[in-house]
Amino acid sequence: MDSMKSFQSYCKADELEEQGYRRRTRKRLIIIGLSTIVLIAIIIGAVFGTLFPVKSSKSKENPPTYTAESIKAICDVTRYPDSCGSTIAAIRSSSNDTDPNPGPSKVFTLSMQVAVGELIRLSSLPQKIISSNVNIDPMVREELEICENLFEDAVKYINDSISAVQGGQGDEMVLSTAKINDIKTWLSSAITNQETCLDGLMEAANHAAIPQEMENATRNSTEFSSNSLAIATHIMTILQSFQVPIHRKLLKFDRHHHGREFDPRFPLWVRKGDRRLLQEENPMPNITVAKDGSGDFRTISEAVELIPKKKKPRFVIYVKEGVYLENVSIDKDYWNVMIYGDGMYKTIVSGSLNKVDGTPTFSSGTLIAAGRRFIARDMGFINTAGPEKEQAVAMRSSSDQSVFYRCYFDAYQDTLYVHSNRQFYRDCHVIGTVDFIFGNAAVVLQNCSIQPRQPGPDQFNTITAQSKTDPNQNTGISIQRCQITPFDNLTATTYLGRPWKDFATTMFMQSHIGDIVDPAGWTQWTQGVDPPNTILYAEYENLGPGSGINERINWPGVKPNVTTEEARRFTVESLIQGNQWLPKDSMVYESSLE
């Protein structure tokens, strides 16, 4: 196969993100003005029942006048319209903003600046709590330090979103479909990070005081982040529904992103160079790791220390066959890293960190991938802690536009932590027991083998536990064309999933479901308590003895027979915008339902 060499151009977007957001061309500024006028016209049309005609930024006609009603109309689409309007008014006042007619683009930016300001204030709280609690439990201390990092990352996500709205480079349109999807992803992740902090503290604390203090402190920042996400979602919906001419131009641009023609076989966000790397049998590595000393290093962690930070060229690490007893972390500053081995069952990274022995779930992964555009191929990741150690993660990914191709994930509870951002898994093997595919990423697992195994005493299996907390988050777990079969001698009751959070969203489609799955399909998070109607548990065109829908549990949020149109929301193309970043020559994947 000739596929590994194509990963080099996957990294070109980093140069735009790292250098381009704040250094925009004059042409971009013209586009910003045009986009803003179009959006203002649409919003005011929605308020007053009349759509103003779209004006060119060079038009000699008088532009429409916008009053405070336009700000109210924008904030009315949020879950918290009062805080949206009042905080935007406050930040305008404090910055001496005298613009009498702020349009949607400016209001959107101001809403994000409000969220950033609150998160910056919040980021100092974890250390204050640690300082004021002399005898703090070590695990609680670690969770608070995790919170601090999560808040800092949330600030970065929202600042990236602000930069995306404010400018661009070259012919890339400011509010293209791709750019709005980026913004929605980053804002969704900012909210996820805040929720992850609270989850960790609840898991670690032996009393409610510290978690309650943090929950109270994060209420505003979560609310303000939610307001920005709602505005982003509303703008996109309006543009699509009104079919504005400029929007059609943007859609056309997206499908020829960076000069690359659309190919339905692969998501475009995996660049041409990365596509080659995924397929090539023996791609040229920057570093080789070998236990027998025949490479540059004997451990993967030593190799990771040499990865340059925030660089665009793809950095490739080849790990020769063997079992590597270590925990590997690809830090958030390590971009465009690829690790490949000699096969998913030949090159194994093995760890045993777990909750019972004092490691937070968030930090227990044998592999942790946080740097953007991470790729793993032909590797295995195992957590050997066992069922008695409770949460013990084999791999956690918070990496945006990450790809796992022909990889093996083996643990018991919480095997695969799909934490946040956009992720794609192809031809992988996942083994676990309780909630063993969990998190709040936008993630597609395609053509994978998913195997529940025998859990501990008095336990039952749940394949998924999705944790969406806001209706506007563009997140969810999609299981497409996978095989659901037992691992070894499985006798425990097994379900497709259970709803971790109020807007849990999971789809099983076009998969073969074995008879190990209970006819009810889904189960409660807390036994005896039905989930809210806001969850979405969907199924589409599955096969196998466990795919029957007649006995599925009768909750309003369970949709065992969705339409083709509804199922399309969970494809590679729609859920993770894969046609903009996945490699189209390096691995076979289906971008749609066909």
Measuring CA to CA, which residue among 155, 172, 183 is closest to residue 422? 183
- Helices first, then strands: H and E counts in the chain: 14, 26
Measured distance CA(132)–CA(135) in Å, rounded: 9
Measured distance CA(21)–CA(28) in Å, rounded: 11
What's the Rg (C-alpha) of the chain? Answer: 24
What string of H, E and C letters represents the secondary structure of 172-199?
Answer: CCCCCHHHHHHHHHHHHHHHHHHHHHHH
Q: Which domains are present in the chain?
A: 7-254 (1.20.140.40), 290-432 (2.160.20.10), 437-586 (2.160.20.10)
Would you tell me how many other CB atoms lie within 10 Å of the CB of residue 301? 15
Measured distance CA(406)–CA(342) in Å, rounded: 11
Please give the C-alpha separations between residue 33 and each of 53, 59, 238, 251, in angstroms, as whole numbers.
15, 11, 18, 18
pLDDT in tens, the chain (594 residues): 444 443 333 443 444 444 444 444 344 434 444 444 444 344 334 333 333 333 334 444 444 444 577 788 889 999 999 999 999 989 888 877 777 666 677 888 999 999 999 999 999 999 999 999 989 999 999 999 999 999 999 999 999 999 998 865 433 335 778 889 999 999 999 999 999 999 999 999 777 799 999 999 999 999 999 999 999 998 765 444 333 333 444 444 444 444 444 444 455 666 666 766 666 778 899 999 999 999 999 999 999 999 999 988 899 999 999 999 999 999 999 999 999 999 999 999 999 999 999 999 999 999 999 999 999 999 999 999 999 999 999 999 999 999 999 999 999 999 999 999 999 999 999 999 999 999 999 999 999 999 999 999 999 999 999 999 999 999 999 999 999 999 999 999 999 999 999 999 999 999 999 999 999 999 999 999 999 999 999 999 999 999 999 999 999 999 999 999 999 999 999 999 888 888 665 566 777 786
Measured distance CA(588)–CA(470) in Å, rounded: 33
DSSP SS3 for 212: helix
Residue 369: beta bridge partners? 330, 397
Annotated catalytic residue, options 199, 435, 518, 585: 435
* Contacting residues for 288 by C-beta, under 8 A, at least 6 apart: 294, 295, 296, 297, 317, 318, 319, 320
Measuring CA to CA, which residue among 497, 590, 592, 508 is closest to residue 543? 508
Strand 367-369 with 395-397, pairing: parallel
User: Under a CB-based contact definition with an 8 Å cutoff, are residues 175 and 250 in contact?
Assistant: yes
pLDDT, residue 94, reads: 83
Measured distance CA(363)–CA(197) in Å, rounded: 12
Write out pLDDT tens, residues 138-197: 999 999 999 999 999 999 999 999 999 886 543 333 577 888 999 999 999 999 999 999
DSSP SS3 for 369: strand
* Contacting residues for 92 by C-beta, under 8 A, at least 6 apart: 99, 102, 110
pLDDT, residue 66, reads: 43
User: Under a CB-based contact definition with an 8 Å cutoff, are residues 69 and 100 in contact?
Assistant: no
Question: 335: buried, middle or exposed (CB in 10 Å: 19+, 13-18, 0-12)?
Answer: buried
* 435 is a catalytic site residue: yes
Measured distance CA(194)–CA(222) in Å, rounded: 7
Measuring CA to CA, which residue among 132, 150, 146 is closest to residue 222? 150
User: Under a CB-based contact definition with an 8 Å cutoff, are residues 187 and 161 in contact?
Assistant: yes
Ramachandran region of residue 376, left (φ > 0), alpha (ψ -120 to 50) or beta? Answer: beta
DSSP SS3 for 452: strand
DSSP string across 60-122 = -SPPPP--HHHHHHHHTTSS-HHHHHHHHHHHHHHTT---SS--HHHHHHHHHHHHHHHHHHH
Measured distance CA(369)–CA(424) in Å, rounded: 13
What string of H, E and C letters represents the secondary structure of 15-56?
Answer: HHHHHHCCCCCHHHHHHHHHHHHHHHHHHHHHHHCCCCCCCC
User: Under a CB-based contact definition with an 8 Å cutoff, are residues 200 and 57 in contact?
Assistant: no
pLDDT, residue 511, reads: 99
